[in-house]
Amino acid sequence: MAAVTECPPQLELADLLRRHDVSGPRYTSYPTADRFVEAYQGPQHLQALRQRGTAQPLSVYVHIPFCEQLCYYCACNKIITKHHERAAPYLDTLTREMDLVAGALGGPAPVSQLHLGGGSPTFLSDAELGELMARLRQRFKLLPGAELSIEVDPRTVDLTRLTHLRGLGFNRLSFGVQDFDTAVQKAVHRVQPLAQVAALMQHARELGFSSTNVDLIYGLPLQTPASFARTIAQVAELRPDRIAMYAYAHLPQRFKPQRRIAAELLPPAGDKLAMLSGAISALLGEGYDYIGMDHFALPDDPLAVAKRQGLLHRGFQGYSTQPDCDLVGLGVSSISRVGATYAQNAKTLEEYEDALNQQQLPVQRGLALNRDDLLRRAVIMALMCQGRVEFESIAASYLVDVPSYFASELTRLAPMAAQGLVSLEPGAIQVTPLGWYFVRAVAAVFDRHLQADASRERFSKII
């Protein structure tokens, strides 16, 4: 697999950005969630779970929607409240969903990966987190060595809470940082000092967490290339095992909290490009490997090892080292992937609770994939994870002549090949080191729905 060892010259990257400065999916799934239909609901998901059974390990995602404070940039499904008493009834409703899912599967299914996200999972008290984990362990079989991760708002935890999380079995932490510049933090309503995060990360290492991740966002209000470079230097000094660095997508028409951000405070496109290219250069210089899109990892981290070995996977939580196993999503708005199906729970707490009060799975929409969907999913995920598509492998799995089936797509890839983003070999497509920065654009060529769509407004920019 071609590795990214250095950042391309900024002028070259800038020229390519102008050519590919379009909106597009992040491809945590294919087809993407905007293609789900309301004709697919609880009964269809129930059938998919029953057909699956408990033979193979699962990945489980649990969504905790509550947050104490509103972050203006946020596009997540969340409920802003300081009323912590709302958590207990939610956990009871969540338990009813667990019971329905476990019953449909035919008993406690083995789980190799568990992730708590939100919202802020650390909105829950220590006792509630303990109760949630106990209920999960009663209904699922968490395997020895399973990856147990949780998203952490540094403002809601202290050293004692981290110790409690470790005692519950969590072995991976993801810290939401976004930026360490005080002016930027105030502009997005998320103030958390560097010293606070540094102390938490140091304690996490002492407790034996196997991995710490830091989330960053570039393109926030009041950010400049110089200020973001300082944040990158501070993060590199903290030495997290993984870094996720996302481009801020300002879509106030879709996400109401973003209306509190004045558009004139956002950095111009040229500054965003400088932030990205500067951060990539700095992180590569600090010894991080570029995993793909917006992820970095230290060379000995399992994610970097998987990238080098061609064993990377991608799902609704992003890049992963876990085998391409089914995912069960629990909680409001969660998405499941079971076999050739996707299912998404109701997005509002009221609808979610109403379905479960009637002993029904709270699925509001989903999709049963057809043969073309499965074929294109295989191609897109190969590009996103391995950066390479082997025609022979695809042909053997789906009984198609790849050059003929994707003749128009290969034609559309020709300009990208001329730009040095992909190499079109006789029996393969190879993403180049430069092309990894634009891998979403390469994958989008094979997205039948997107290519037929007149508008991409609902997606974030490629860069």
**DSSP per-residue codes, 29-90:** SSS-GGG-BTTS-HHHHHHHHHHHTTSS-EEEEEEE-EESS--TT--S--EE-S-GGGHHHH
pLDDT at residue 10, rounded to an integer: 54
Q: Are 342 and 336 in contact (CB under 8 A)?
A: yes
- pTM exceeds cut of 0.85: yes
pLDDT at residue 459, rounded to an integer: 56
CATH number of 35-327: 3.80.30.20
Average pLDDT of the residues in 223-249: 95
**Percent share of the chain, pLDDT over 70:** 92
Start-end of CATH 1.10.10.920 domains in the chain? 1-31+370-463
pLDDT tens figures, 113-165: 999 999 999 999 999 999 999 999 999 999 999 999 999 999 989 999 999 99
Average pLDDT of the residues in 279-296: 90
The Cα-based distances of 286 to 63, 226, 235 in angstroms read 34, 18, 10
User: How would residue 2 be classed by pLDDT, with cut points 50, 70 and 90?
Assistant: low
More confident of the two residues 292 and 221 = 221
Q: Is 374 helix (H, G, I), strand (E, B) or coil?
A: helix
Q: How far is residue 429's CA from residue 1's CA, in Å, rounded to a whole number?
A: 12
Of the candidates 376, 374, 377, 355, the residue with the CA atom closest to the CA atom of residue 364: 355
- To which residue do tokens 């111009």 refer? 268
Q: Which of 33-42, 78-87, 452-461 is predicted least confidently?
A: 452-461
Show the CA angle centred on residue 68, arms to residues 67 and 71, nearest 5°.
70
What are the DSSP calls for 155-218, one per residue? GG--HHHHHHHHHTT--EEEEEEE---HHHHHHTT----HHHHHHHHHHHHHHT-SEEEEEEEE
Start-end of CATH 3.80.30.20 domains in the chain? 35-327
Q: Are 72 and 261 in contact (CB under 8 A)?
A: yes
pLDDT at residue 249, rounded to an integer: 86
Average pLDDT of the residues in 345-349: 96
What are the DSSP calls for 105-169, one per residue? HTS-EEEEEEEEEES-GGGS-HHHHHHHHHHHHHHEEEEEEEEEEEEE-GGG--HHHHHHHHHTT
Q: Residue 333 — left, alpha, or beta (φ > 0 → left; ψ -120 to 50 → alpha)?
A: left
CATH number of 1-31+370-463: 1.10.10.920
The Cα-based distances of 32 to 40, 368, 369, 422, 438 in angstroms read 15, 12, 11, 23, 18
User: Which ranges constitute the DSSP H helices of 312-456?
Assistant: 349-357, 371-385, 391-398, 402-405, 407-418, 439-444, 448-451
Residue 336: exposure state from Cβ atoms within 10 A (0-12, 13-18, ≥19): buried
Average pLDDT of the residues in 346-360: 96
Going by their DSSP bridges, the two strands 109-118 and 58-64 should be labelled as: parallel
Q: Are 329 and 345 in contact (CB under 8 A)?
A: yes
Residue 380: exposure state from Cβ atoms within 10 A (0-12, 13-18, ≥19): buried
